[in-house]
Structure 1
Amino acid sequence: MVKAVLLERLWTRMNERGDFPLLSQSLRATVAAMGNDDLDFGALVQVVLSDFALTQKVLRLANSAMYMAFGGNITTVTRALMVLGMDAVGHLVVGLKIVDHFHQSAPRRIDAKLELNRTMLSGFVARKLTEGGDVRAGEEAVVCTLMRQVGKLLVVFYLDSEWDEIRVHLELGATEDEACNQVLGVTYDELGREAATRWRLPDTIRTGMSRYDPADDDGQPQQWLRAITNYSTEVAKVLTSPELTDDARAAQVADLARGYSRVLATDADALVQMSLAIAREEADDGVMREIVELHADADAIARSERLDPEARIAAGIADLRALPSDSPFSTALTLVSETVLASLGFARTIVFVRRGSNVFEARLGFGPGVDDAMPNLTFNAAFQPDVFHLAIANSVGIFIENARDPKMIARQPAWFRASFSDVRAFVLLPSVPQRGAPIALVYGDWLTSQEPRRISQREMSALNELARELARFFSPASIEAA
């Protein structure tokens, strides 16, 4: 039951971002085309041609030295499919679509970008391991390796508060599986397999992305896939661990190579040299270099930006202004919610959006208890003597410093008290266009379990500016689509 509830919340959160259904549709179309026994390339050609970057990668692969015997100078995707084979191109498409989805969805948080880059690095290791062999098996191995990480990526990208809780458990000494089960009720591996099932990926992918157990190695092809998937994942983890010295990193890679050399049919020393060479190559201009820079940025943030909420709000405003006005309203809502949540260390954020002329309803929220409370977070715009109606009657936000004061409790609507009885302090920020009534109300709170906090005048001014900027994305059509 816990697993079902968690999965439903995860899929709902992904759909709220707007781009996830497009990924699912694209992956399913690709897999369906791969399973076409009549060799009708049309469906897969259409998937490839819909993405310029993908088209170029397919053509480059078909024109690589490995395929010069087929005549070279391949200029059409149809001819590339004939040379490479449906499965090889299909797996290449699946891998690129997954990586591209998370690139496009990437929040500003550094830890999310680090996890994505670590996943990409594991894919590079898998591709290097399979170079010179069957391209179909190689691309299949890359997809299995990427999918091995998808469960973690889904959590870090879409379940912000749960990801933070998991990291706390890890810092206290829990294993990754223990932390995931405590917070989510499922492991990352289970989430990844669920995603593979929803995307209707082939059985070979679902089998190959599982953990490799040397005790169960029966020499079957799926064991080779599992071994590549696990070796690539573990090597990427070692290569990107900032606390390791070069000698310690090399020693850990050597241990991994000795454990996997037999099943991968590769000499252990050759595995070590190949793995460390990837780190050196990438350090010049690639994912490893970006990982190093992200680690440095994270250290800088830990020292300074965490202490400067105003700077973090300003960064959110800049990101919001960089969005085109015709961007999905849901994207703007997510950006504002994340900025408010992170800037002042709030426990929860909720955005209420005006529907029609009379009702404000919660449209998006982050934090403990929010998902369960969302259906009840609705209020009529007609005046009532409470703080929410005071907020929508103003053009600037209000800060309630002591929400537990009896006089203040009396000014809180019943629906709010019933949903959130653990609030220490909260802020309400109306989003008001240049003309007209508020179109949204942004809420953020601190809980009684947190230390008392205040919002300075400069911070409140920055929050008001952020809320005003949200109004730029409002239209009745965008509200319905959000």
Structure 2
Amino acid sequence: MENQQQSAIATLLQRMDSSPGFAGLGASVQTISRLSDDVDGGTRDIAESILRDAALTARLLRMANSSRNARGGRNISTIDQALVILGLNTVKSVALSLALLDSLSRKPQSRLLQAEIVAAYFCGTLAGEITRVNAPRFSAQEAQVCGLMQNLGRMMATYYLYEDIEQSRILQAEKNLTEDDAVEMTLGMSFEAIGAAIARHWCLPDVLQNSLAPEIGKAPPRAAANALSWHQLCSSFCRRVTEALFRLPENRERVEINRELEFFRSALRLKDDEVREWIENCLHETDVLLAEMAFPCNVEQARTLLRKASERVLDVLSSGDSLTKNKYSVDGRTPVEVIQYVLRLIHDRYSFDHTLLCLPDGSSGLAAIAGVGKNASQVTSRFRCSGPKPDLFRAIMARKLDTFVADANAPAYAKLLPAWYQELVGARSFVILPLIAGGKLLGLIYGDFSEPRASPPSGLAEGLMQDWRAQLIHALQSGATKQL
């Protein structure tokens, strides 16, 4: 494992040092983090630093002249004026975000990286706010930069070790792992450890290096005695809150945030209502600033993208179900492991918001047994059709034909949707693909989109999907004695 860690870090640092895109990023982070906290006394030096970057200069002037910041209809035409209007906090955050965006955007994975920058900006904004209110003796601006850098390792690994990250996603699908577990198995270390190694390599200021240290212990920490300790604890709390908001299913957000609140309560002097208000305000502030920057990704888009990357396939089968038994294994895997693996591949390939496997239930019913996507646990456990009243899903099941519904709200479809569907799922477009063997319906693949689509995703009738359908059919036949 240690050799694997050293190899991954060595490869990453070598690629970073040799890449034109990152040749100046380490220096940019150092410069930005060391900008004077004294706006009045250090304005000349700060303005000179900003004016060396035409893109940053233009972006800051645009923001200073936005309707939110303009005062009395004044035209802001100098960086000195922009600094007064925006404040150094905002200037630092925008400068660092632009440095990251400029370096990360020229890659096929740029959309995912843009979402990571949005999460980083929120994390920094929250860290700055907590420090401003609860620890005014420490620098809120320093806290904001520490927060912004918390997912540095994740961004750099996604940029430079993309093939390895893709391998970790395959492993994630094969073994139905969490994203973090799959990355550690592939690279031999966590994203946090990678970020800490990069900070050391770049010789970033001690406060930044310390804030990226991956471990703070298992026991709730004591109150911070100095700036180094405060920024480490505050950054760690904000990173964990950001993970909950941007990567976990919505139904787990509150539980995880409450857990982190309890853990850091004493050290950071946190109060539940205040923290929830800060979170909402910082999410809003992040969205407003991103819009002013004309950033290509907003908060909601970022949360959707990052949650999708972190999803696991969930099933509602009992341990006694034949689909979970080794004696019905398919190429060394239990049928449910095959189902989980294939569903994940389908989900990622076609970018569905939910992907479910549904089986006939009794003489005329239909029930989901496994699923992946937004709030998959709730959707999978409650996606059931039964009773005498006809519904759209059982009508499609009876036809045994591939079906695409472009707009589920169209009257012809809406009147046949089960009462629970709109509240539980609420998809606008969906695809249903029957799994048939010997003329008998074994199950249905259900995939949906939250926004309406004029046509189904391409490739549903091609070889790859046919292979996946065949694998699901084989898995279901192997566990044919299963009972719901």
Q: TM-score, normalised by structure 2?
A: 0.49
